[in-house]
Amino acid sequence: MDIEEHLNTVEHKLEIEAAAELLGGVGVARPEVQEAVRNLLIAIGEDPNREGLQATPQRVARAYDELLAGYRVDPQMMINDAIFNEQYDEMVIVRDIEFYSLCEHHMLPFVGKAHVAYLPNGKILGLSKIPRVVDLFARRLQIQERMTRQIADFLDTALHPHGVGVVVEGLHLCAMMRGVKKANARMITSALCGTFSKSPLTRQEFLEHLARAGSHTSL
């Protein structure tokens, strides 16, 4: 390996580490966000200078930077070091991946679990990368339907598998705390590509695995 190739390899590893830290690290308190939070406190009738609120703009700015880190990570770069050639052709499932996101309509949290499966076509993805892919798309202003499709489409494009299946179950605080106030209402969304979409047997195998795991999902 020559010097230039070595430097490129080191740079790539640093980018991957930075992406992982961004998704799992502490946010940055951006001044413009702090100012927006301060103005919001004033608008609702609070005093941002009182003791309990003095550090709130900074805390909220850090929290939003962390919760929305998915905008600043290149998903392809994040997984490139973990795609391996392997002649394994049975279903791979990672279930019960917890996620935390913010709905784009009210900027209130929605939380839940994602279940991801794919049928390899000569390539497999390192186990830890699938939860990171879920995190990456969750950490944006989202709607659950779009997030589900983004996870499936990305894995389909990155791995070129025979098929991808994604099921997401979410609890939405915008429906629990306000509006209809239904605390137990769960939203279930799915996105199916390739064999998962075309073959009832493949789809049924996926759902049976989820049922054995205690999920009540049905398609």
Closest CA to 102 of 129, 142, 62: 142
Residues annotated as catalytic are 103-106, 144, 172, 174
Q: Please state which CATH number belongs to domain 3-67.
A: 1.10.286
Helix axis angle, 129-138 to 144-159, nearest 10°: 140
Q: Give the tens place of pLDDT for each residue, 40-80.
A: 999 999 999 999 999 999 999 999 999 999 999 999 999 98
Contact of 61 with 38, CB cutoff 8 Å: no
Separation of alpha carbons 52 and 63, rounded Å: 17
Domain residue ranges in the chain? 3-67, 82-212
Which residues fall within 8 angstroms of residue 53, CB to CB, at 6 or more apart?
41, 46, 47
Angstrom CA distances, 43 to 33, 36, 38, 40, 192, stand at: 15, 10, 9, 5, 45
Separation of alpha carbons 179 and 55, rounded Å: 30
Q: Please state which CATH number belongs to domain 82-212.
A: 3.30.1130.10
Q: Give the tens place of pLDDT for each residue, 98-147.
A: 999 999 999 999 999 999 999 999 999 999 999 999 999 999 999 999 99
CB-facing half-sphere around the CA of 190: CA atoms within 13 A: 15
**Against a cut of 0.85, is the pTM above it?**
yes
